[in-house]
Chain A
Amino acid sequence: MDAEKIKSALADITAEQDPTIKSLKMASLCSALWAEHGVELVVVGGSAIEILTEGAYASGDLDMCHVNKATLPIRERQEIMGLLGAKGGPRNWQVAGMFVDVLGPAESFAHTPYRRVQGPYGEVQVMKAEDLLVERVLVSVYPGKNPAARECARELAVVALVGAVNMNWSEVLRVANLPEYRNVNECKPS
Chain B
Amino acid sequence: MIEIGLIQDIISTFLLLVGAFFVFLGMVGLIRLPDVYNRLHATTKIGTLGAFGVMLSIVAKLGLEPIGVKAITVGLFILLTAPVAAHMIGRAAHRHGVGLCKESVIDEYGKEHNK
The answer to whether A and B interact is no
Binding site for B on A (CB under 8 A): none
